[in-house]
A and B are shown apart, each in its own frame.
Chain A
Amino acid sequence: MAASGTKKPRRVMLILEILILIGLLVVPLVTSDFHTIIATRMLLLAMLAISFDLCWGYSGIMTFGQALFFGVAGYVAALLANKAGYVQIWGIVPICMLVGLVSSFLIGWFLLLGKRTPTIIFVALGTLTASYAAERLVAGWQWVGAGNGMSVWDFMKVGSYELEPGPVFYYVILGFLIVAYIASRWMVRSQLGLVLAGMRQNEERLAFFGYRVQRFKALVFSFSGMIAGLSGGLYAFHEGFIGPGSMGIGLSTYAVLYGLFGGVGTLLGPILGVGAIETIAFILSDIDALKPYWPVILGVIMLIVVAYRPTGIMGLIVTDRERIGSFGYRVGDEPDAGGKDAKEDTDGTA
């Protein structure tokens, strides 16, 4: 691949990343606590959107049930707080990630690692059904609050410090988002990412090369479930409430919308998608004349995006070549990808 040709556009993406990072860093400094809390919620949803993007944008897994892992981890976090009185962030975070990882691995195992190669439709309907079934299940399960959902009364704690929603909580979440972003970025820019890109383009061909594509898919699916679980657990503590709706098809669909609107196949896209959709929704909720039509407006926008701009907002900003990017060992023009490690890793798996 041409190295010099990609140099200039590559900077656009990097500049965009830095600009967004600076923007996110100053939010609590320039707005009220109220708006900071709204923004924190967006960061949490951005993690969910990234987890969707890893599936669809990078590995061709059409997951319509990403909220399932978000919700299960949220419920686990709420149960830990309410039933066990455990609210330490150092325990909550790994547990929620583990819950997301395990639950998505189980679903992924069932849907992806069967004897026959699953079609996109099968995976989409499978994840959709799982999400719907889980929503109905918790809505009828009294121990977890049934239709009530669960109020998370206590704040998450760091040692003895209580994390109340506000600027500090915001920066904690921003920290997690950055870590999740960098981990995801490293993954999709490594040699593993190259395999994923190949799968996305032509799955059969990759299979003929000897790659066990379904295993790669299950791997990415589990990883994305882990990120969704992380955001779900933190979300339960931030909102102070988790209900059946947080693991159902409603939120799952929103995860898809965030991704498509912002632009799948770039990790920045989902963040922009969440920012755009949630900001419009927030503004519209102050305009009573338009509020009832918001779902209609959103639907029309999505139709236009899917039909005319399948690359979303990001497609307007960066070129196709830059969106797809380059991979792994080409350390020279990729300052922030852990190329060497990635190479060893994927060589082992492949």
Chain B
Amino acid sequence: MRSNDSMTRRGFLRGSSALAAAGWTAAGAGWVLKPTWANAAGSIKMGIATDITGAIAPSGNANWQAAQLAVKQINDAGGILGKPVELFLEDTASDPGTAVGNVRRLVQSAQVDVILGGITSAMREAIKNPIVRRGKTLYIYPQLYEGQECTEHLYCTGPTPAQQCARLLPYLINEKGYKRFALPSANYIWPQLLNKWARRVIEENGAEVVMEEYFPLDQLEYSATVAKIMSEGVDHVFNTVIPPGLQAFMKQLYEAGYYDKGGQTCVYFDENSVNYVAARELEGVYSCLDMFHTIDDAYSAQLISEYNALFPDTKYLFSAGSAATGMYRGVKLYEQAVLATNGDLARDATSAAMENAAIKEGPGGPSRIIPGTGHAEMNMYIAQSRGGKWDIISSEATVPPQECA
């Protein structure tokens, strides 16, 4: 199948081997992935706006590849109501300022029917306006995030704080005995709101927050913070620092010897995290996501093997913390919405149908949008990194998002 794929980029044909991840990573903005067959009635245009370059690139590339997998599956099965899905990619470059201009190409130039993408909340905040408001286009945001995004025509297919933290933090406190938490964070909306959630759950369970600090996203010097963590008797670090600051923070925390003293949680950590930090710095870290490669779910395992077959040499894996699962789920939920409107691609029609979209199978398990909330329910898994793998500690089926109700 792959050998027949041809990618057109503003009319320029390229060899199919470029589908391999290496070919994509260096590629800039403005790719089009044409389906291998056409329908006289046209195609469904799907825009992907994600971080192909910049600090978040490892997650962005996993996102883009997950979108290709989902679309390939749809097109191989005959498209949606006979129409193939055509993929348009714009690089948001891990920079909201650049992204606003690039996303505009998807809306005004390619005139796509739906846009999926954005990884950090800073990115979502920046691009939702050109997409939903200025562009009057349906927007699906695939990443785990801080909640409270209740914009009309915007659907979130990644986990919310309720889904990620409602069980993880009580588990850490009551079963693992962690009592003194530190919340080092990047200074933007996701850590700020997630920490509010975390602080409440931590205090309700009888533990305390010893410190909560916010750093500029690109801060590289954390010795004062690490020293405080070491001296204040912190036994668990609830880490919401993100790249590019993340690498320096984890390294300095590791080198200070904290890993012998206490535990750490980072709720976006997954199989892709080795692209950001050294393996030794991942050891023992807890996470809570909607899929890990180690879960016992036949459909997820099949998806992962299909993904790996499609992108054999990639280092960007099909993983949840990189929004790849949310991306796949988003594409499939959108497919259901288009089926429900009987092929009507108008924004208001598909948006109304998204309210009731559901998939029986997906990464990590089934999922559906809870009507009136714009958020998805999904299975959640608590896991700990052990020797390069994520050991599943517990799982819970169809966890509700508890947002925008």
Which residues from chain A sit less than 8 Å from chain B, CB to CB? 32-34, 37-38, 41, 136, 139-140, 142, 145-153, 155, 164-165, 239-241, 243, 245-246, 285-286, 288, 291-292
How far, in angstroms, from A147 to B126 measured CA to CA in the complex? Answer: 11
Question: Using Cβ atoms and an 8 Å threshold, which residues of chain B touch A41?
Answer: 101
Is A285 touching B29 in the complex (CB atoms < 8 A)?
yes
Which 10 A-B pairs have CB atoms at the shortest separation, nearest pair first?
A34-B108, A147-B188, A240-B129, A288-B28, A148-B122, A291-B28, A146-B187, A151-B129, A245-B97, A34-B109
Q: Does B186 contact A (CB under 8 A)?
A: yes
Given contacts A37-B108, A140-B214, contact A153 B125 (CB under 8 A): no
Is B125 touching A239 in the complex (CB atoms < 8 A)?
no
How far, in angstroms, from A285 to B30 measured CA to CA in the complex? Answer: 8
Q: Does B343 contact A (CB under 8 A)?
A: no
Question: Using Cβ atoms and an 8 Å threshold, which residues of chain A touch B26?
Answer: 288, 292
Interface size on B, residues (CB 8 A): 34
Is A34 touching B216 in the complex (CB atoms < 8 A)?
no
Chain A residue with the shortest CB-CB distance to B151: A153
Q: Which B residues between 194 and 229 are near A, CB-CB below 8 angstroms?
A: 214, 216-217
| Interface-centre pick from A155, A240, A245 (highest chain B CB count, 10 A) | A240
Is A288 touching B27 in the complex (CB atoms < 8 A)?
yes
Is A136 touching B28 in the complex (CB atoms < 8 A)?
no
CB distance from B99 to the nearest CB of A (A): 9
CB distance from A90 to the nearest CB of B (A): 22
CB distance from A161 to the nearest CB of B (A): 16
Question: Using Cβ atoms and an 8 Å threshold, which residues of chain B touch A32?
Answer: 108-109
Q: Does B10 contact A (CB under 8 A)?
A: yes
How far, in angstroms, from A139 to B105 measured CA to CA in the complex? Answer: 27
Q: Which B residues between 102 and 138 are near A, CB-CB below 8 angstroms?
A: 102, 104-105, 108-109, 121-122, 125-126, 128-130, 133-134
Question: Using Cβ atoms and an 8 Å threshold, which residues of chain A touch B133?
Answer: 153, 240
Question: Using Cβ atoms and an 8 Å threshold, which residues of chain A touch B121?
Answer: 148
How far, in angstroms, from A151 to B29 measured CA to CA in the complex? Answer: 22
CB distance from A289 to the nearest CB of B (A): 9
Chain B residue with the shortest CB-CB distance to A41: B101
CB distance from B141 to the nearest CB of A (A): 14
Chain A residue with the shortest CB-CB distance to B10: A286
Q: Does B189 contact A (CB under 8 A)?
A: yes
Is B216 touching A139 in the complex (CB atoms < 8 A)?
yes
| Interface-centre pick from A150, A151, A291 (highest chain B CB count, 10 A) | A151
Given contacts A146-B187, A149-B126, contact A241 B96 (CB under 8 A): yes
Is A241 touching B97 in the complex (CB atoms < 8 A)?
yes
Is A285 touching B104 in the complex (CB atoms < 8 A)?
no
A-B contact pairs, 13 of them (CB 8 A): A37-B104, A140-B187, A142-B187, A145-B188, A146-B188, A147-B186, A148-B121, A148-B125, A164-B134, A240-B100, A240-B133, A288-B26, A291-B28
Question: Using Cβ atoms and an 8 Å threshold, which residues of chain A touch B100?
Answer: 239-241
How far, in angstroms, from A240 to B133 measured CA to CA in the complex? Answer: 9
